[in-house]
Each structure stands twice: as structure tokens, then as C-alpha cells.
Structure 1
Amino acid sequence: MAALIEREIKTAEVELIPSGGGVFEVTVDGERIHSKKKTGEFPEFDDVLDALRDR
């Protein structure tokens, strides 16, 4: 997903932080926009792109 984000939004800076226990968090400008731990699901790529474009 990181490579796709960087390809779609040239100004995006993506940082991958390894974690365990099935955690997959997406944070934009310090605001969490998705938590797999909370929802039980991975985020939809289009939802992540929309959140980035809205910034």
C-alpha cells in the first residue's frame, strides 16, 4: 500500500512501522484514520487516498 500511495500522491511521505499482533494503523498528519485492531479489517485503498487528498 505504501508504494501505491507514493505513486498516486507524489508529495506523500509514507513511513512503515513494524508491529505485531495484527495491528495495522493508518495515521495522517497525526490523526488516525484507520485501525485494523479496532475494525478487524484492513483499510480500503481508496479510503486512504481520499483521506490524503482531503489534507
Structure 2
Amino acid sequence: MKDELDVVAELKTGPSGSYEVAVNGKVVVRKDSLAFPTDQEVVDAVARALDG
């Protein structure tokens, strides 16, 4: 998939330990275990959301 995306990102403060990435208001990546998603997992999820 893509390594870089031409997007504008905004960081918002949330509850401690939370991690979500949303595209147009739809969550595409969420921290659902002790580990954070990798950079590539985030890029791939955003790319899929933008392509779909």
C-alpha cells in the first residue's frame, strides 16, 4: 500500500490510553490492546478509507 498520504491531520486530546484515527468522522484505526498500531497499519487504514 501507500507509504505517505497527502492529508491534513488534526490531533485531539482524548481519554488517557485512547488512540483512534478517523477519516471524515469514521474511525478506521483504534487501539484495542496494549500495543499501539504501527505507522504502516495507520497509513494503510487511512489509504483504504480514502480509496473507498
Shorter-normalised TM range: 0.5 to 0.7
Question: Aligned partners of 2:23, 2:33: CA distance in 1, in Å?
Answer: 18
Structure 2 segments unaligned to the other structure (5+ residues): none
Could you tell me which runs of 5 or more consecutive residues in structure 1 were left unpaired when the two chains were aligned.
Answer: 1-7
- Cα RMSD between the aligned structures? 1.6
Count of residues in Structure 1 that have an aligned counterpart in Structure 2: 46
The share of aligned pairs that are identical, in percent, is 30
**Runs of 4+ that moved beyond 3 A:** none
| TM-score, normalised with respect to structure 2 | 0.63
1:39 is displaced (CA, Å) by: 2.4
Aligned twin of 2:25: 30
Q: Higher relative CO (CA 8 A, sep ≥ 6), structure 1 or 2?
A: 2
